RNA sequence: GGCGGCAUAGCCAAGUGGUAAGGCAGAGGCCUGCAAAGCCUUUAUUCCCCGGUUCGAAUCCGGGUGCCGCCUCCA
């Protein structure tokens, strides 16, 4: 079984062949830390988190690096506006980023380097590029000369001539070509600055990634990822400078995730429709956000709407509803499911994990994987129905299927809560949003129970309707009545 | 102007040559005092349009239409 990935470099699916068997080195462009993380960051970060988890689940030794860009124009501008130092601003948003990542169940990368921690490596690469004739200095700035690099444009599929024909191009007469980009920037007074052979300055945007990826993963590594928008110019420039400096291939596979729109509009400052991760997780379970993201293919555009999130949330309820039944059957969570180990087909034939791998091997097709997951949910619900409540065990096939489901959850970052905790959280959200005392609900349930006992169904139904209007749904179970969050329909 | 992508049921979304996954919503049924949850059945003779290739196309080719992204900071 081989994994196929869509490589932006070449624009086709290719077999994933690691540079060294069994080992994968991947680098993903992290955020520029000058503001809070929005849902677009969430998608990128979730997509690569799932890829990371999957490769590990498939037995690869993975080393995953995601950087922070902690020096650039936006940070400087913002810090000046706020009257604080760049370090303080960056530090604040790095901390916030970590809080957000934890909230959405991200596995931390193996390394999270800072651009400012790698100035000497950056200076070294810039020097190398000048030495080799790919870069030139002009009044303290150092530019990369795109005309000296014949392969410039190979990632984004652009040709210099085409771009020059139509693009709006800044006029900087020191540049040999309008598309030359800055490797090292002379600092203005008050800006962060480091000593360099070209005077006091700071790194350009792209060079940091060349320096950090080379340092932690080697000059050639396996996977380089990021958002689609980074293809040009960021990754195009990065690939040019890295390959020119080191004289070898940079990354084998370039993976780019698609964008998220909000109600079919691009997120933008002017529309004021930026959705921050910290706000989303206040309203929804973090796994609902993850499920929303993995429900479509990572390269497709994704439209965020309230309804789409509500559907993702309902889907998650369905999954946890099954887990709750499983917990009840086993009287235990997590259930004691003897892991089927090599996951060969058991008697009743669970090849769920294998089919999941088939989907994921095809360019990380998580949408197809979700279909499999829901089929498994249905089949397990059916099995539990057929056995009847109180039955203490599930067939070996059922147990293996549950084990597979949880294993899939480990990859997608779903089903990581216990069902009890999950529904408790959902209930708590109802209580908090309406300032309801749970004891009051219990009292209502007792009143309804008495009414039902007395066959006063009119009263019983009236109580239930009253609760339903408050988004509280009752379920009469053999062992008694429980309540769950509901949609408020009466 | 250049480069690239997308168009599948009411909505979301898989499916790259062999006869349309899955979720939500809807309808009917089982269960229930009635519900809820769960299960079962059902909902696209058809995949934007027009041609072509093929025994066979949502899938390949040509043309058209409509959306969208990038080319400037952006995940």
* All structural domains of chain A with their residue ranges: 4-266, 305-419, 436-485
Nearest nucleotide by C1' from A299 CA?
B5
Q: How far apart are CA A68 and CA A133, in angstroms?
A: 29
Where are any strands of DSSP class E within A164-274? 181-186, 201-203, 221-227, 251-257, 260-262, 265-266
H/E stretch holding A358? helix A352-361
Angstrom distance, A291 CA to B46 C1'? 29
Note the pLDDT of residue A425: 93
Note the pLDDT of residue A350: 60
Best CA proximity match to A111, nearest among A56, A67, A69: A67
Note the pLDDT of residue A276: 92
Q: How far apart are CA A375 and CA A373, in angstroms?
A: 5
Angstrom distance, A374 CA to B10 C1'? 22
Which CATH superfamily does the domain covering A4-266 fall into? HUPs (3.40.50.620)
Nearest nucleotide by C1' from A303 CA?
B12
- Which ranges of chain A have pLDDT less than 50? 341-349
Nearest nucleotide by C1' from A31 CA?
B75
Q: Which CATH class is domain A305-419?
A: mainly alpha
Note the pLDDT of residue A135: 96
Place of tokens 């920037």: A185
Q: How far apart are CA A351 and CA A408, in angstroms?
A: 12
Q: How far apart are CA A35 and CA A452, in angstroms?
A: 56
- Alpha-carbon Rg for chain A in angstroms: 27
Rounded (5°) CA angle A177-A183-A184: 120
Query: What SS3 class is residue A41?
Result: helix
Nearest nucleotide by C1' from A322 CA?
B38
Angstrom distance, A16 CA to B56 C1'? 33
Exposed/middle/buried for residue A480 (C-beta within 10 Å: 0-12, 13-18, 19+) = exposed
Q: How far apart are CA A246 and CA A37, in angstroms?
A: 34
Question: What's the distance, CA A148 to chain centroid?
Answer: 37
A26 strand-pairing partners:
A64, A223
Length of chain A equals 490
Which bases of strand B sit closer than 7 A to a protein CB?
1-6, 11-16, 21-25, 32-40, 68-75
Q: Which residue is the nearest neighbor of B32, CA to C1'? A: A476
Token pair listed for A267: 């997120």
Angstrom distance, A256 CA to B67 C1'? 22
Angstrom distance, A212 CA to B47 C1'? 46
Q: How far apart are CA A11 and CA A7, in angstroms?
A: 6
Note the pLDDT of residue A335: 86
Angstrom distance, A229 CA to B70 C1'? 7
Give the strand order in the sheet containing A302-304: A265-266, A260-262, A302-304
Query: What SS3 class is residue A5?
Result: strand
Please state, in angstroms and as integers, the Cα–Cα distance from residue A374 to each residue in A311, A312, A365, following that order: 14, 12, 15
């Amino acid at each position: 079984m081989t994994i196929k990935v869509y490589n932006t470099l070449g624009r086709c699916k290719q077999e994933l062949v690691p540079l060294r068997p069994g080992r994968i080195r991947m680098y993903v462009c992290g955020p520029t830390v000058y503001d809070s993380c929005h849902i677009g960051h969430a998608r990128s970060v979730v997509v690569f988190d799932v890829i990371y988890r999957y490769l590990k689940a498939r037995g690869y030794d993975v080393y995953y690096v995601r950087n922070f860009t902690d020096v650039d124009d936006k940070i400087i501008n913002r810090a000046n506006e706020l009257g604080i130092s760049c370090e303080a601003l960056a530090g604040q948003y790095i901390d916030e980023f970590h809080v957000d990542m934890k909230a959405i169940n991200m596995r931390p990368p193996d390394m999270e380097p800072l651009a400012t921690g790698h100035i000497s490596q950056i200076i070294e690469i810039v020097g190398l590029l000048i030495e080799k004739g790919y870069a030139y200095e002009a009044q303290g700035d150092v530019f990369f000369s795109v005309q000296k690099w014949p392969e410039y444009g190979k990632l984004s599929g652009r040709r210099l001539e085409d771009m020059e024909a139509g693009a709006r191009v800044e006029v900087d007469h020191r540049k040999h070509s309008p598309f030359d980009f800055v490797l090292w920037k002379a600092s203005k007074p008050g800006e962060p600055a480091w000593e360099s052979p070209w005077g006091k300055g700071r790194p350009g945007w792209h060079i940091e990634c060349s320096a950090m990826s080379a340092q932690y993963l080697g000059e050639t590594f396996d996977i380089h990822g990021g958002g689609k928008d980074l293809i040009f110019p960021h990754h195009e420039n990065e690939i040019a400078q890295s390959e020119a400096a080191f004289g070898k291939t940079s990354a084998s596979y370039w993976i780019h995730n698609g964008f998220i729109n909000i109600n079919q509009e691009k997120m933008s400052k002017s529309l004021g429709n930026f959705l921050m991760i910290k706000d989303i997780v206040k309203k929804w379970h973090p796994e609902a956000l993850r499920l929303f993201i993995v429900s479509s293919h990572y390269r497709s555009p994704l439209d965020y709407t309230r309804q789409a999130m509500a559907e993702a949330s309902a889907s998650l309820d369905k999954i946890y509803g099954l887990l709750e039944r499983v917990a009840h059957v086993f009287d235990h969570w997590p259930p004691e499911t003897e892991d089927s180990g090599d996951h060969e087909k058991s008697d009743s034939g669970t090849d769920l994990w294998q089919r999941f791998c088939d989907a994921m091997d095809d360019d990380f097709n998580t949408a197809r994987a979700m279909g499999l997951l829901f089929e498994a949910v249905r089949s397990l619900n059916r099995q539990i129905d057929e056995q009847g409540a109180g039955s203490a065990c599930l067939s070996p096939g059922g147990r293996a299927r549950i084990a597979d489901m949880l294993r899939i959850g480990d990859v997608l970052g779903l089903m990581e809560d216990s069902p009890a905790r999950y529904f408790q959280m959902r209930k708590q959200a109802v209580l908090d949003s309406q300032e309801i005392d749970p004891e009051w609900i219990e009292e209502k349930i007792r009143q309804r129970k008495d009414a039902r006992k007395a066959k006063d169904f009119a009263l019983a139904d009236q109580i239930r309707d009253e609760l339903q209007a408050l988004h509280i749904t009752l379920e009469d179970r053999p062992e008694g009545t429980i309540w769950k969050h509901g949609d408020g329909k009466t």
